[in-house]
Amino acid sequence: MVCDRGFRIKIINGNTNETMTAGIDAAAQAVRLPQTKVVTVQPESGPESIECFYDEYLAIPGILEQIALDKDADAFILACWGDPGIEAAREMTTRPVVGIAEASLYIANMLAAKWSVVTTTHRVRDMVEKTVQKTGIRDRCASVRTTDLAVLDTNHRDATLEALTIVSQIAIAEDGAEAICLGCAGMSGLDSQLEKRLGVPVIDSVAAAVKLAESLIGLQKLTSKQMTYRLPELKTVKAYPVHLQPQWLRQ
């Protein structure tokens, strides 16, 4: 007997920008299994785009809210390279949570000896390096390279493709990258074109996360509640709505 039931995956764009949500959804729909239903949303609160630690931290409550309010999804995907708030998301539910950053690194690790992450503004390099470090995979990362595109600039597809091409070529030639991870959800959908130009595997992080979320569901695995990812302890979270009170998560 094989695993054939339908899945429901909820993707949460970390940014409150609808164009980007649509792009993420398209990338996800393009790779999902027939039996998977994908819904892509964006938070009710938070920055239009995540381009620094400040943005990231203000985005997280809205992201977590999307998890708290959903009792149906079989798995969640955090669609912002940085996997913002992922440890908290894992505490909130037993249902698997996949970050697009970690997903892209695992996929890259199976295709290439070394890979680079190519991403947006110069200032996020430290933030992106910390994200790589959070997965535990560091030795295999050839470099983190930045295009200096703003996140919302990625809506300009041709210019984005051009910038990614140039920076990826530098990563390949100078840093020894043998695959490229697209380090921003806004770059989703450009992987095939870029792959043709570069001649190395290019990982669409959103697509990668969809397949890994399907994998976790297929394996019927739930997040460990042994210690670190236990449900938040019961307490008052001042000035937050009822659905973000730990009590809510236990219902």
Measured from the CB of residue 66, what is the shortest distance to its own copies in angstroms? Answer: 13
Contact by Cβ (8 Å): 244, 237 = yes
Between 37 and 161, whose beta carbon lies closer to its own copies?
37
Measured from the CB of residue 124, what is the shortest distance to its own copies in angstroms? Answer: 8
Between 10 and 32, whose beta carbon lies closer to its own copies?
32
Between 122 and 156, whose beta carbon lies closer to its own copies?
122
Between 162 and 176, whose beta carbon lies closer to its own copies?
176
User: For residue 181, which phi and psi values (nearest 5 degrees)?
Assistant: -100, 125
Strand partners, 8: 37
Measured from the CB of residue 232, what is the shortest distance to its own copies in angstroms? Answer: 4
User: For residue 241, how many other CB atoms are within 10 A of its CB?
Assistant: 12
In sequence order, the 6+-apart residues with CB closer than 8 A to the CB of 215 are: none
| Cα distances (angstroms) measured from residue 1 to each of 4, 5, 217 | 9, 12, 16
The Cα diameter of the chain in Å comes to 54
Measured from the CB of residue 17, what is the shortest distance to its own copies in angstroms? Answer: 9
Between 163 and 208, whose beta carbon lies closer to its own copies?
208
Measured from the CB of residue 151, what is the shortest distance to its own copies in angstroms? Answer: 9
Report the C-alpha gap between 246 and 92 in whole angstroms. 8
Query: Angle CA(143)–CA(118)–CA(187) in degrees, nearest 5?
Result: 160
Query: Angle CA(76)–CA(12)–CA(138) in degrees, nearest 5?
Result: 75
Between 71 and 238, whose beta carbon lies closer to its own copies?
238
Query: What b/e string do you get for 12-32 counting C-beta neighbours within 10 Å, with b at 16 or more?
Result: bbbbbbeebbebbbebbeebb
Between 31 and 161, whose beta carbon lies closer to its own copies?
31
Measured from the CB of residue 229, what is the shortest distance to its own copies in angstroms? Answer: 7
User: For residue 169, how many other CB atoms are within 10 A of its CB?
Assistant: 17
Contact by Cβ (8 Å): 185, 206 = yes
Measured from the CB of residue 161, what is the shortest distance to its own copies in angstroms? Answer: 19
